[in-house]
Amino acid sequence: RLFGMKIISAVLCALDDKGASVTALLYGATVISWKSPSEGRDDAPPKERLFVSSKAALDGSKPVRGGIPVVFPFFGPATRPEHSKMGQHGFARSSQWHYVATVLDSDAGVSVQLGLKPTPEIDALYAFPWALTYTITLAAHQLTTDIAVKNTSATGGASFDFQALLHTYIAAHAASVSVSPLTGLTYIDKVAGGGERTESRELVDVRSFTDSVYKGAGGRYSVRWEGGGVDVRANGFGDVVVWNPNKEAGSKIGDMEDGGWDKFVCVEPGTASYWVTLGAGEEWKGQQVISAL
Ligand code: TA6
């Protein structure tokens, strides 16, 4: 397999000779496309594995409705005073990242690093000593995305708390999709007002409006639907969010295409229910590996 990578101004694209590709905007470091053949089906044309709403803004005017938005420094609406100047899910997904390096370009895959550091604009919203590195790796049938959060202050400097999450829109047949294993886990049911429940289902579906934060999830998720599936492995992220707005909530989302809710499930590895405290000079990493079946 030969891999190659192109950077086209605000977009970077990695390709391989079997037609696998990943495309990301420097805006928000948002992966907006991942095409891959299925394992053992290199003869078949690669399929798009992520959902992006046809009404998504891809010009940097607002966070992308789809793909893999990067959520940092908090998940959901702001609940802490130091986050009060930011919109939901923080600033990372709506900031202009920069290309750092190509860290792998071989027959094993291609891996590109993007970076985001404080700017005067971001400091006005969030004045802490943070730096982000996001690594996107395309391998045969697999897409890996790693986020590293560093506290850049010198020894004895300030620490800060953060949440990080990869808000992944998996292209799927939502009416038949299931996510497992989540049985026995405690989850926050945001549709039912945020109370905690214990998951009793072997297979979690999204046939109704679903917005669930599974705590202490195992980091191995099988996402299956009629005609397809992916495996998701998460390292460093203790929780996983399962979200699908259905028509009930999806029809109220301005950049959600009509019926878009029938075409995806969000499986979002993250530190959604807890905060990570980073001391001076420390670094934290979270990784998502998606395998195309
Ligand atoms: O991850 C689920 C969630 O937190 C939902 O509550 C919903 O708000 C979704 O994210 C989309 O958020 P956004 O800010 O992208 O519209």
Mean pLDDT per block of 10 residues along the chain (293 residues) reads 64 76 94 90 89 96 97 98 96 96 87 96 96 95 96 94 99 98 98 97 98 97 97 98 98 98 98 98 98 95
Token pair 């499986």 in the structure block, residue: 267
Closest by Cα among 164, 157, 144, 166 to 274: 164
C-alpha 152: how far from chain center = 24
Task: Say how far apart CA 123 and CA 239 lie, in whole Å.
Answer: 28
Whole-angstrom Cα Rg for the chain: 18
Among 51, 74, 88, residue to substitute to test ligand 1 (most atoms within 8 Å of Cβ): 88
Q: Is 243 close to ligand 1, i.e. is its CB under 6 Å away?
A: yes
CB 269 within 8 A of CB 240: yes
In 62-214, where does DSSP find H-type helix?
Answer: 120-125
CA gap 142, 109 in Å, rounded: 9
**What pLDDT score was predicted for residue 45?**
87
Q: What does the alpha-carbon distance between residue 162 and residue 286 come to, in Å, rounded to a whole number?
A: 13
Contact (CB, 8 A) for 92 and 70: yes
**Ligand 1 contacts CB of residue 70 (under 6 A):** no
pTM greater than 0.90: yes
| Catalytic pick among 83, 89, 141, 268 | 268
Q: Give the ranges where the chain is alpha helix by DSSP (H).
A: 120-125, 246-250
| Nearest atom of ligand 1 to the alpha carbon of 249 | 7
Q: Which of 191, 243, 244 to mutate to test the pocket of ligand 1 (most atoms within 8 A of CB)?
A: 243
Residue 65 annotated in ligand binding: yes
Q: Are strands 47-48 and 31-36 parallel, antiparallel or unpaired?
A: antiparallel
Tokens 């420390």: give the residue: 282
